[in-house]
């Protein structure tokens, strides 16, 4: 598993993830090239030796509770993937078996923090961008999760959290603490991708083939609520994650 570089503030509101000095993305090893990516939920305990984060994934059902059914979690997860797919040449499809998936989502087998992502890439002899081989997303089953914003930022919205984590799995890092979905502080100040998020994902995968302009009116939205500095316990070498 590759090591993460420190997360410095990104220019333009985004920062591309770098592993061992290489930018990483799905599909072709070329910035701007689109990709099709599969995902699945962990249905049993899976271990990933050498992973920096998410070394043990427990079944996704560990996240369920009174306010989060499996049907709701599946719906919110699909919606989180669509947020990225609708603004870039990037598509996602669910598969039944986690062993066949590019991105595997599950509960943390050893709960800590809130949520983490792990990205590994295929080696290549040439310099330049590396192709992602596998990515993991793991959420803490000991924390409560909610659907939607209600002003209580001590409980995280599952869709917003997944949008952020999926951003890591497709090659984006924290550009800084706030102002973008990829910022490392949880906030309910906006519900969708911000301009820096859009620039980052479109640099990696290009615009959608059928969309000359990003659908900013739908996905770049702000909510007039107070932002508090609750730190995501997510993929950041600056916080030793």
The single-letter DSSP state of residue 55 is S
pLDDT beneath 50: ranges in the chain: 1-9, 212-241
pLDDT of residue 10: 62
Domains of the chain, start order = 11-239 (3.40.390.10)
pLDDT at 233: 35
* Cα 5 from Cα 15, distance rounded (Å): 11
* Euclidean distance between CA atoms 161 and 153, whole angstroms: 12
Q: Are 95 and 39 within 8 A, CB to CB?
A: yes
**For 53, how many CA atoms within 13 A lie in the half-sphere containing its CB?**
33
Residues forming beta bridges with residue 22, ordered by sequence position: 19
Structure tokens at 156: 């995280």
End-to-end CA distance of the chain: 13
User: What does the buried/exposed string (b/e) look like for 18-29 if buried means 16 or more CB atoms within 10 Å of the residue's CB?
Assistant: bbeebbbbbbeb
Q: What does the pLDDT read at residue 211?
A: 60
Scored b (16 or more CB within 10 A) or e, 88-119 reads bbbbbeeeeebeebbbbbbbbbeeebbbbbbb
The confidence score (pLDDT) of residue 22 equals 97
Q: CB of 105 within 8 A of CB of 42?
A: yes
Nearest one of 153, 179, 204, 156 to 9, comparing CA atoms: 179
User: What's the pTM?
Assistant: 0.85
Predicted confidence at residue 222, as pLDDT, reads 43
């Amino acid at each position: 598993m590759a090591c993460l570089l420190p997360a410095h503030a990104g220019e333009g509101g985004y920062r591309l993830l770098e592993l061992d000095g290489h930018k990483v993305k799905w599909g072709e090893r070329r910035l701007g090239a689109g990709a099709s990516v599969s995902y699945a939920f962990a249905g049993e305990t899976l271990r990933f030796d050498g992973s920096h984060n998410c070394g043990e994934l427990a079944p996704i059902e560990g996240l369920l509770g009174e306010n989060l059914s499996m049907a709701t979690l599946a719906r919110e997860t699909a919606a989180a993937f669509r947020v990225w797919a609708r603004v870039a040449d990037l598509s996602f499809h669910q598969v039944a078996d986690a062993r066949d998936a590019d991105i595997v989502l599950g509960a943390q087998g050893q709960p800590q923090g809130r949520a983490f992502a792990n990205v590994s890439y295929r080696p290549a002899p040439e310099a330049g961008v590396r192709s992602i081989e596998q990515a993991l997303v793991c959420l803490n089953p000991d924390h409560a999760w909610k659907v939607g914003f209600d002003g209580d930022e001590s409980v995280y919205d599952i869709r917003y959290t997944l949008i952020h984590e999926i951003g890591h799995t497709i090659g984006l890092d924290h550009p800084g603490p706030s102002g973008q979905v990829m910022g490392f502080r949880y906030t309910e100040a906006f519900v969708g991708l911000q301009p820096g998020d859009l620039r980052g994902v479109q640099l990696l995968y290009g615009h959608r083939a059928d969309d000359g302009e990003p659908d900013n009116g739908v996905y770049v939205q702000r909510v007039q609520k107070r932002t508090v500095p609750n730190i995501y316990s997510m993929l950041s070498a600056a916080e030793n994650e």
